[in-house]
Amino acid sequence: MRIDILTIFPEIFAGPFDHSIIKRAKNKGLAEILIHNIRDYSRDKHRRVDDYAYGHGAGMVMAIQPIADLIDKLRGERDYDEVIFLTPDGQLFDQPTANRLSTFQNIILLCGHYKGIDERLREHYITLEISIGDYVLSGGELAAAVVTDSIVRLIPGVLGDETSALSDSFQDDLLSPPVYTRPADYNGWKVPEILLSGNEKAIYQWSMEKAIEKTKTRRPDLLKGFE
């Protein structure tokens, strides 16, 4: 899978994709993440990428030309499954969306700033708008990193244990049950006996009960499908 990220702050992406699972995905050739500096496509002599908003008072708007040129160039090189704009007024990002995006070959993630991007980009270029939560970030970069992380780990072959992404919280509308590792007794705090029993059926049943219990108390909204 190839992910092209369009930003005016490419430096922000120096860290998040160079560790752990995303790094492994890149090294295995399963994910390619390319960072493009929108400023490099500005035709303004000062490399400006923003301008005053028509009609409204305060606030700058990201201009159409540099972003349109960059997307045109990328689309001239390959087909894209989605051109995604990260924005607080987009559709709320969730696990089913991550699952769907992880099946794609090529996607573009556009990071916004200031008061937003010229509406004509949204009308003519953007195919999907995503918010990662009901709060406002100073730009779309961290949201793009979150979306990238959540989809790259789902690409087949990225996680060592193929089944582990399936048992994540949210994959079956349940939060994950508690997990434990050695020692079985830490200063008197004991791991539940059943997990040491070797009885796989009983362990599965216990885990399901714990998952349902946790989901009931923390996220009852997720249980609607079970009732």
Q: Shortest Cβ distance from residue 78 to ligand ADE (Å)? A: 25
Task: Work out whether 150 is an interface residue with ligand ADE (CB under 6 A).
Answer: no
CA angle 93/96/102 to nearest 5° reads 90
Q: Shortest Cβ distance from residue 89 to ligand ADE (Å)? A: 9
Using DSSP, state whether 125 is helix, strand or coil. Answer: coil
For residue 210 the two structure tokens come to 């714990």
**Closer residue to ligand ADE (CB): 131 or 148:** 131
Kindly indicate which of the ranges 17-25, 66-74, 135-143, 201-209 contains the residues binding ligand ADE, using the contact rule CB under 6 A: 135-143
Q: Shortest Cβ distance from residue 115 to ligand ADE (Å)? A: 11
Binding mask 160-199 for ligand ADE (x = CB under 6 A): ----------------------------------------
222, 174 Cβ separation under 8 angstroms: yes
**Closer residue to ligand ADE (CB): 84 or 155:** 84
Binds ligand ADE by CB under 6 A, chosen from 22, 117, 137, 174: 137
User: Segment 49-88, which members bind ligand ADE (CB under 6 A)?
Assistant: 86-88
DSSP letters, 206-218, are HHHHHHHHHHHHH
DSSP code for 64? H
Number of neighbours of residue 28 by Cβ within 10 angstroms = 11
Q: How many alpha carbons lie under 13 Å from residue 179 in its C-beta half-sphere?
A: 6
Q: Shortest Cβ distance from residue 32 to ligand ADE (Å)? A: 23
Using DSSP, state whether 158 is helix, strand or coil. Answer: coil
Using DSSP, state whether 46 is helix, strand or coil. Answer: coil
Residues that bind ligand ADE (CB under 6 A): 86-88, 112, 131-133, 135-137, 140, 143
